[in-house]
A and B are shown apart, each in its own frame.
Chain A
Amino acid sequence: MAGNTEPLSPRAKLAVTAGKAAAAVSRAAGRGSGSVIGGRVALKLDPELLGRLAGHLDVVLVSATNGKTTTTRLIAEALRAAGPVVSNALGANMPAGITSALAGGSDARYGVIEVDEKYLAGVARDVSPKAIALLNLSRDQLDRAGETRMLAEKWREGLAGTEAIVIANADDPLVAWAASSCPTVVWVAAGQEWKDDAWSCPSCGGVLQRHTEDWFCGECGFRRPQPTWALSGDYVIAPDGVAWPIQLQLPGRANKANAATSAAVAAVFGVAPKIALERMYAVQAVAGRYDVVSYLGRDLRLLLAKNPAGWLETFSLIDGPPAPVLLSVNARSADGTDTSWLWDVDYPRLAGHPIFVIGDRKLDLAVRLEVAGLQFRVCADVDEAVRSAPPGKIEVIANYTAFQDLRRAVGN
């Protein structure tokens, strides 16, 4: 179907036009990029618009708890080797945002679409993707998102029998279970540092046994699928056994895992690992994440971490002590309003770093750090925190709205 420029119906055209008008009004009113409002208006006029807009595209959907936006970007860069790409690069990942992004892609051949975990099954039904990449599932915003295993179950039921080629992380038992209902799966050994949401078998509830990277259920026999792609240190091993070096500008193990998965996705679209990876090396920052910003004479590296699994991966990529660390946590509705998850984050790993704490919920963080036995300083705002740190680099880690606040504050 790729390259087919079948015209949109008059109704679909009207919906796209109305959506663009609403987005323009929203932008003019200073209310963000307008992509979500635009998509919402368009979808209301034509509920099947998403499917129609995707009709001429070869689509890959990307979903996970962590790494969706970055992986979407890496895959988009890789597929540009084969043709024009449309993507919701800014992370508007619910149906309205996706609709709005696709409305701008009439000339594209490929659609690389990040999808919120809760909407994956529905979007997959609407757009008939060629591929679906599933990275990881872990606890996140439990006060509003519901239970983690329930999400896996929704994936499993919603994707059962899909015609898409599913590229899934064999090292995450919840993902492995969700994807094992799909007829065609490319398993990637992408790793998963966080293990605390998958100690019980997603299938039968038995206790999972783990031996180095292998895992299996002693009761029902459900076990880690045999991967054909693997992340191994700084290399991705392709199915033919060739080890390709991963030389990203993006830091950290998790991004190497994202690159390995992206290489497997690119192969589905006929883009060879060498070409796919080289294109990924161009990515420096994703929606402000990993950006280094000069501010008040210091270099701030901006890192987003929204949940315990994300913080764990982030701790493993920051510079060691004595690099100062600035932490910011909010609990607005987009973050989840419960801060209890801070206690599942392994803060003792920050021992030895000078620590500065800001954000709406800095006091929750202060008690957490006090109980971890760490030295820290609570600051009124980012300026005070940055001025308190010695000149040089500061590792800045923040959750969702705190990250947005920080970007605004430092002019990123």
Chain B
Amino acid sequence: MSDTSLRLVWVYPDLLSTYGDQGNVLVVERRAQQRHIPVTRIDVRSDQPIPTSGDIYLIGGGEDRPQRLAAERLRRDGGLNRAVGNGAIVFSVCAGYQILGTEFINDLGHPEPGLGILDVRSVRNEGARHVGDIMGDIDERLGLPPLTGFENHQGNTVIGPGARPFARLRFGSGNGTGDGTEGAWCDTVFGTYAHGPVMARNPQIADMLLKLALDVHALPPVDEQWYEALRAERIAAATEASA
């Protein structure tokens, strides 16, 4: 482990790696390596302390009970909150996104405090589960191409004044609040409901995290052939399904 390498922290794979979101770690790692950026992946199990010196923290989706266990352990550990206080970058998906907020409804049906890193609050959607391909436009301040992903959740997430929607959907439920918003972000903390995994479908998000971590405005190009082909296919499929 070199001092100068980028530290990529994968939070609680034992609890929050059920929906393929490990792919986000693999994509960020790969795209860093392709640019000859030294990167160290650190997997932190839920009985280990969260290191506070990471550059990028990734958190995935999980089932309802592991989500509660993860929230309890992250609150007790405090490392992720300290890391964000130090300016770390956090990108979270689904159950992980809800945990970053102020509160969510746990598997027992009770309100569970989140980490309060992102100004969102989640409740349980009483209707049908949100399942399927989604597509939309990412907040223009982030300068990213359209979002494509796959959602599979039962949450409705309300964004407070301290955060902004990550995207506005053309298709799909996203935050489930009926206003077309999907995910949320503030400074260096991001949350989304999109699996796929989201970085495989949107590698520019991985590059955005790398640029934030390295404090650069551009990265050398990499071969985008398969990513572009997949994006085009999924965006066309979502468009067709909704027509």
Contact = CB atoms under 8 A, between A and B. Distances in A.
Interface of A: 139, 142-144, 147-150, 196-197, 199-200, 205, 207, 337-344, 363-364, 366-368, 370-373
Contact of A373 (B19, B30, B227, B230): B30
Given A207-B46, A364-B230, A367-B226, A342 B20 contact: yes
A200 B200 contact: no
A205 B23 CA distance: 25
Given A199-B45, A338-B150, A368-B200, 14 more contacts: A142-B152, A147-B63, A148-B18, A148-B63, A196-B13, A207-B14, A207-B45, A337-B132, A340-B20, A340-B195, A344-B20, A363-B233, A366-B226, A372-B26
Contact of A371 (B18, B26, B46, B152): B26
B200 A367 contact: yes
A341 B14 CA distance: 16
B230 A363 contact: yes
Question: For chain B, what secondary structure do more than half of its interface residues adopt (helix, strand, loop), or is it mixed?
Answer: mixed
Centre residue among A139, A147, A337, A367 by max chain B CB count within 10 A: A367
A358 to B, nearest CB: 14
Given A200-B15, A340-B20, A363 B229 contact: yes
A339 B152 CA distance: 12
Contacts of A368: 23, 200
A144 B131 CA distance: 9
B27 interface: yes
Interface of B: 13-15, 17-23, 26-27, 30, 45-47, 63-66, 69, 131-132, 150, 152, 195-197, 200, 223, 226-227, 229-230, 233
B22 A199 contact: no
A367 B225 CA distance: 9
Given A149-B63, A200-B66, A341 B226 contact: no
Contacts of B13: 196, 199
A372 B233 CA distance: 21
A363 B226 CA distance: 7
B79 to A, nearest CB: 16
Contact of A340 (B30, B64, B65, B150): B150
Contacts of B64: 147
B22 A367 contact: no
Q: Top 6 closest A-B pairs, CB basis?
A: A340-B20, A343-B23, A199-B14, A343-B20, A363-B230, A207-B47
A338 B152 contact: yes
Contacts of A199: 13-15, 45
A370 B226 contact: yes
A340 B19 contact: yes
A366 B230 contact: yes
A340 B230 CA distance: 13
B23 A340 contact: yes
B96 to A, nearest CB: 14
A205 B20 contact: no
Contacts of A150: 63
A339 B200 CA distance: 11
A344 B22 contact: yes
Contacts of A197: 18
A205 B65 contact: yes
15 contacts: A142-B18, A142-B152, A147-B64, A200-B14, A200-B46, A205-B65, A338-B20, A339-B20, A339-B150, A340-B19, A344-B17, A363-B226, A367-B230, A370-B227, A371-B200
Contacts of A205: 65-66, 69
B14 A340 contact: no
Given A205-B65, A207-B45, A207-B46, A143 B152 contact: yes
Nearest to A366: B226
Nearest to B93: A340
B69 A143 contact: no
A343 B60 CA distance: 12
Given A338-B150, A343-B26, A373-B30, A142 B19 contact: yes
Contacts of A207: 14, 45-47
B8 to A, nearest CB: 14
Contacts of B66: 200, 205
B106 to A, nearest CB: 12
Nearest to A195: B14
B15 A343 contact: no
B201 to A, nearest CB: 8
Nearest to B232: A363
Nearest to A342: B20
Contacts of B23: 340, 342-343, 368, 371
Given A338-B195, A371-B30, A343 B22 contact: yes
Nearest to B233: A363
Contacts of A147: 63-64
B125 to A, nearest CB: 15
A26 to B, nearest CB: 29
Given A199-B14, A337-B132, A373-B30, A343 B200 contact: yes
